Structure 1
Amino acid sequence: MGTSQGQEDLTEMVNKLATDVTTHEEALGNAAESFGEMKDEMNVLREQVADLVAMNRALTDTVTALQAEVKELQVKNRTLQRQISVGGGDDRPARVDIQRPSKYNGTRDSRVDNFLFQVEYYLDLQGIMEDDLQVKTAAMLLEGDVVAWWRRKRLDIQKGICTIDTFDHFQRELRTYFMPPNATRHAYQMVGELKHTGSLRDYVRVYQRLMLDVPDMQEQDKLNWFILGLHSWAQSEVERSNPETLEDAYVVAECLADTQRKSYTNAFKPSKKPDHGGKKEDRMEQKDEPSTQHQ
Structure 2
Amino acid sequence: MTQENVEVIEAAKALVRNVKDEAKKEIDKMSEDLLSARKFLEDEVFKMHEKIDKVAKECQTHQKKSNDGGASGGQGTSFSPLKVPKPDMYNGTRNATLVENFLFGLEQYFEAMGVDEDAARISNAPTFLRESAQLWWRRKHHEREKGICDLNTWDQFKTELRKQFVPHNADSEAKAKLRRLRHTGTISDYIKEFTTTLLEIDDVADQDALFYFKDGLKEWARVEIDRRNVKTLDEAIAAAESIVDYSNRPRRPLTNKTGVERAPVKRLDGGPKFERSFQKKDTSKPPPKPCFICDGPHWTRECPSRKAINALVAEMGPKIDEPSQGELGSIRRLSTLKEMLTGAESKEQGLLFMKLMINDEKNLGLIDTGASHNFLDVKEAERIGITYTPEKGTIKTVNAKPEQIAGTAKTLKPSR
Q: TM-score, normalised by structure 2?
A: 0.41
Q: TM-score, normalised by structure 1?
A: 0.56
Q: Which residue number corresponds to residue 233 of structure 2?
A: 246
Q: Which residue number corresponds to residue 98 of structure 1?
A: 84
C-alpha displacement at 1:248, in angstroms? 1.9
C-alpha displacement at 1:237, in angstroms? 2.0
- Return the match for 1:163 from 150, 162, 168: 150
- Shift of the 226–96 alpha-carbon distance from structure 1 to 2, 3 Å rule, reads farther
Whole-Å separation in 1 of the counterparts to 2:54 and 2:171: 37
Paired residues of 2:151 and 2:157 also in contact (CA < 8 A): yes
* 2:213 corresponds to 1:226: yes
C-alpha displacement at 1:114, in angstroms? 2.1
Paired residues of 2:186 and 2:245 also in contact (CA < 8 A): no
Whole-Å separation in 2 of the counterparts to 1:174 and 1:80: 35
C-alpha displacement at 1:197, in angstroms? 0.7
Overall identity of the aligned pairs, in %? 33
Q: Which residue number corresponds to residue 128 of structure 2?
A: 141
Paired residues of 1:112 and 1:179 also in contact (CA < 8 A): yes
Whole-Å separation in 1 of the counterparts to 2:53 and 2:84: 23
C-alpha displacement at 1:205, in angstroms? 1.1
Whole-Å separation in 2 of the counterparts to 1:161 and 1:196: 51
Give the aligned residue type for 1:197.
T
Give the aligned residue type for 1:105.
N
Paired residues of 2:87 and 2:102 also in contact (CA < 8 A): yes
- Return the match for 2:105 from 118, 121, 141: 118
Whole-Å separation in 2 of the counterparts to 1:200 and 1:97: 38
Give the aligned residue type for 1:229.
G
* Count of paired positions: 194
* 2:242 corresponds to 1:255: yes
C-alpha displacement at 1:215, in angstroms? 0.9
Higher strand share: 2
Whole-Å separation in 2 of the counterparts to 1:192 and 1:146: 31
Matches within 5 A, 1:1-295: 76=55, 80=59, 91=77, 93-110=79-96, 111-256=98-243, 259-260=244-245
Higher helix share: 1
Q: Which residue number corresponds to residue 262 of structure 2?
A: none
C-alpha displacement at 1:112, in angstroms? 1.2
Give the aligned residue type for 1:186.
E
Paired residues of 2:92 and 2:165 also in contact (CA < 8 A): yes
Structure showing greater Rg: 2
Deviant stretches of 4+, over 3 Å? 71-86, 89-98
C-alpha displacement at 1:180, in angstroms? 1.1
Give the aligned residue type for 2:95.
D
Whole-Å separation in 1 of the counterparts to 2:177 and 2:60: 45
CA RMSD of aligned residues (A): 3.5
**Which has the bigger relative contact order, CA under 8 A and spacing at least 6?**
1
Which blocks of at least 5 consecutive residues in structure 2 are unaligned?
A: 1-46, 71-75, 253-416
Whole-Å separation in 2 of the counterparts to 1:213 and 1:160: 35
Q: CA offsets, 1:214-255, max 9 Å, x none?
A: 111222111110111111222122222222222222222222
Give the aligned residue type for 2:142.
L
Q: Which residue number corresponds to residue 6 of structure 1?
A: none
Paired residues of 2:225 and 2:236 also in contact (CA < 8 A): yes
